[in-house]
């Protein structure tokens, strides 16, 4: 498929960064925002990109993007979400942490905590927390997914079911307007469902780009969550669901604006 040089570079940037924004591209290529919007519309018509507010992303379809690319999307927002979620967890607690770049941001923020017991099916989380003597790190057994170091499958599900912990920190690949939490791999979803079922409090961490994506496998529903930590919730319907089911909604953009 032939692409004009600027179009090809836009696609390459989207693959590396996860998303491209109109204003950034206009500055980069020294053209008007209107020109970039036309470029993005052309690429979206060819199904090479998917439009979002203010820019575009690589189409999600049924395939998840590379793990390192996912980590670069909304990196600052994930760091703020990680800090806000970690602040909800007291010392001497037990918790699950599942697969995801945002849950990894929580694990990074937890390094400032005192004694914790962490059960995880995320090799990256285990490696990050293992060297610190105040943490007891327990890792699930099962199939290690090469793409992201996630441990999935029935063995991991059976392992998780042995525990009943104080908190679960979970991520999701997409959030539907009806409150459905969605992912790509049914094996990962089974583990996430076991984590939700075996925690006293469930903390969902997801940045606002998850509202722009879709995925084919249902993890569960927002009503199963106690606290939802995000940078910003753009969906009024999701806000209504949080109010209806008494889900605490924490938006880190509001915390920053208030100076907290």
Give me the pLDDT at residue 234, please: 93
Q: What is the pTM of this model?
A: 0.74
Per-residue model confidence (pLDDT) at position 186: 86
Contact at 8 Å (CB) between 214 and 59?
no
63 pLDDT tier (thresholds 50, 70, 90) = very low
CB atoms within 10 A of CB 185: 20
What is the radius of gyration, based on Cα positions, of the chain?
19
The CATH class of 5-59 is: mainly alpha
Tell me the domain boundaries of the chain: 5-59, 68-257
CATH number for domain 68-257, candidates 3.40.50.1360, 3.30.1180.20, 3.40.50.300, 3.20.20.140: 3.40.50.1360
**Model pLDDT, residue 257:** 59
The confidence score (pLDDT) of residue 62 equals 39
Residue 22 reports pLDDT greater than 80:
yes
Closest CA to 185 of 199, 176, 174, 197: 174
pLDDT in tens, 105-152: 999 999 999 999 999 999 999 999 999 999 999 999 988 887 778 898
Task: Give every CB contact of residue 224 below 8 A, 6+ residues apart in sequence.
Answer: 196, 202
């Amino acid at each position: 498929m032939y692409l004009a040089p600027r179009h090809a570079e836009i696609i390459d940037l989207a693959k590396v960064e996860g998303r491209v924004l109109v204003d950034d591209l206009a500055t980069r290529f020294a053209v008007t925002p209107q020109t970039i919007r036309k470029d993005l519309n052309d690429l979206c018509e060819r199904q090479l990109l998917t439009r979002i507010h203010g820019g575009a992303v690589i189409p999600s379809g049924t395939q998840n993007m590379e793990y390192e690319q996912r980590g670069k999307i909304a990196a600052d927002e994930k760091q703020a979400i990680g800090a806000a979620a970690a602040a909800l967890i007291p010392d001497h607690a037990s918790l699950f942490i599942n697969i995801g770049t945002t849950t990894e941001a929580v694990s990074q923020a937890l390094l400032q905590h005192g004694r914790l017991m962490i059960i995880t099916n995320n090799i990256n989380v285990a490696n990050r927390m293992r060297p610190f003597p105040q943490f007891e790190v327990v890792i699930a057994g099962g199939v290690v997914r090469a793409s992201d170091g996630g441990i999935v499958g029935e063995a991991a599900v059976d392992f998780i079911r042995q525990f009943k912990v104080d908190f679960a920190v979970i991520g999701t690949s997409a959030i539907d307007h009806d409150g459905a939490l969605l992912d790509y791999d049914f094996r990962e979803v089974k583990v996430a469902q076991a984590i939700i079922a075996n925690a006293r409090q469930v903390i969902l961490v997801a940045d606002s780009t998850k509202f722009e994506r879709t995925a084919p496998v249902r993890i569960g529903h927002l009503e199963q969550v106690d606290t939802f930590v995000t940078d910003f919730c753009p969906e009024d319907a999701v806000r209504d669901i949080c109010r209806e089911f008494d889900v605490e909604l924490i938006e880190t953009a509001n915390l920053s604006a208030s100076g907290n």
